[in-house]
Chain A
């Protein structure tokens, strides 16, 4: 039986792994992707992580992982399909039929891209609808793309695409962007980005591939001819495994404070999946540290 099982290998899970090794806990990390490092890998450039200025998200993730590996962290590739409470802890079931027993869980499953939830999205996903501009941007060389959203990711995507595509529409439901001011300035200065605020997408049109995007702009319908649509409207927490087990906020985050303790005993939520004010790699890494301190305290108090 493990002292703790860390589910997820993003910055929160990897940081927890580092602290768990240093605390000499019998721990293991379960990750669903081969050699994963979480969402950070998709960031083209990270400028706000202390000490790693200007690093690409991918390289940063590799450094985090190398650190955890250097301390001897063990990883298991697998998808968790269920968490079953037992007398002395939890049984974690994997989709391949195996299961592992543990006294505590560090739940660091992160978040996934939020879908637009409009007509045509599912049908044309991978056929012009994308959630990763750095992945699929190259397909829009000299074409027209639309980015939907108003945060750092959306504006970063729009800028990235503006260097490839002929024209980029940036569509945001509010008047003001939430993205940082530096990005906003860059977007305003990009000649081929057309900003459309107070607009929401209503339908994606296309037979075999994306042909147009319908939007509701200031109350009236408009149709924009586009070849690609990039959705960057935030994330949804991967908290479904804790449904009915621990308390979740109305929008699905695991309710826990800085000590990461969820309402279910012995479960600690770390990183983007936890209720918190700021979801960044640095706050995820911080959660990883705090969660292991809480695991140690829990094991001590429960005589395990």
Chain B
């Protein structure tokens, strides 16, 4: 299960994590987010050795969203050793996410 990170835990869970992290910015009322959720759950299981998945609910942690200039959901931000490498937004396909992870 992906951890939900907040303003308070983001540094520890994402920025000081040694390795690859996929941060999923989502909102409660967003339908594309609901659709993407099971896809991410699948990926999390299949690629658990490669990447850590965390979720940020922008209804609660709007500050983080604004700090990362996230203005649409879902937005997937890929981090490596605490540094942002790339991002995808909208209802993206599983393959696109996989290839993004492989390029990290």
Contacts and interface: CB of A to CB of B under 8 A. Distances in A.
B31 A209 contact: no
B73 A135 contact: yes
Interface in B49-99: 58-59, 62, 65-66, 69, 71-73, 75, 89-91, 93-94
B71 A209 contact: yes
B73 A36 contact: no
Given A126-B71, A136-B73, A138-B58, A35 B89 contact: no
Contacts of A35: 35, 38
B27 A138 contact: yes
Given A138-B58, A139-B62, A41 B39 contact: no
Nearest to A124: B71
A41 B34 CA distance: 10
A205 to B, nearest CB: 16
Interface string A17-56: 0000000000000000111100001101000000000000
Contacts of B91: 33
Contacts, number: 65
A58 B32 CA distance: 10
A139 B58 contact: yes
Contacts of A137: 27, 29
Contacts of A209: 69, 71
A181 interface: no
Nearest to A210: B71
A141 B31 contact: no
A228 B65 CA distance: 15
B101 to A, nearest CB: 18
Contacts of B27: 135-138
B33 interface: yes
Contacts of A33: 35, 91
Contacts of A217: none
Contacts of A136: 27, 30, 71-73
Interface in A123-167: 126-128, 130, 132, 134-139, 141
Interface residues of B, number: 26
Contacts of B89: 126
Interface string A200-215: 0000000011000000
B71 A127 contact: yes
A138 B72 contact: no
Nearest to A208: B69
A58 B34 CA distance: 10
A135 B70 CA distance: 13
Contact of A134 (B29, B66, B75): B29
Nearest to B58: A138
Contacts of B29: 44, 134-135, 137-138
Contacts of B34: 58
B100 to A, nearest CB: 17
Interface in B2-43: 27-35, 38-39
Kindly list the 8 A-B residue pairs having the minimum CB-CB distance in the complex, ordered from nearest.
A135-B30, A126-B72, A41-B31, A134-B29, A138-B27, A138-B59, A136-B72, A127-B71
Given A33-B91, A127-B69, A135-B27, 6 more contacts: A33-B35, A34-B35, A41-B31, A41-B35, A137-B27, A228-B71
Interface of B: 27-35, 38-39, 58-59, 62, 65-66, 69, 71-73, 75, 89-91, 93-94
Interface of A: 33-36, 41-42, 44, 58, 126-128, 130, 132, 134-139, 141, 208-209, 228
19 contacts: A33-B35, A34-B93, A35-B35, A42-B31, A126-B75, A126-B90, A132-B30, A132-B31, A135-B27, A135-B33, A135-B73, A136-B27, A136-B71, A138-B27, A138-B29, A138-B58, A139-B62, A139-B65, A209-B71
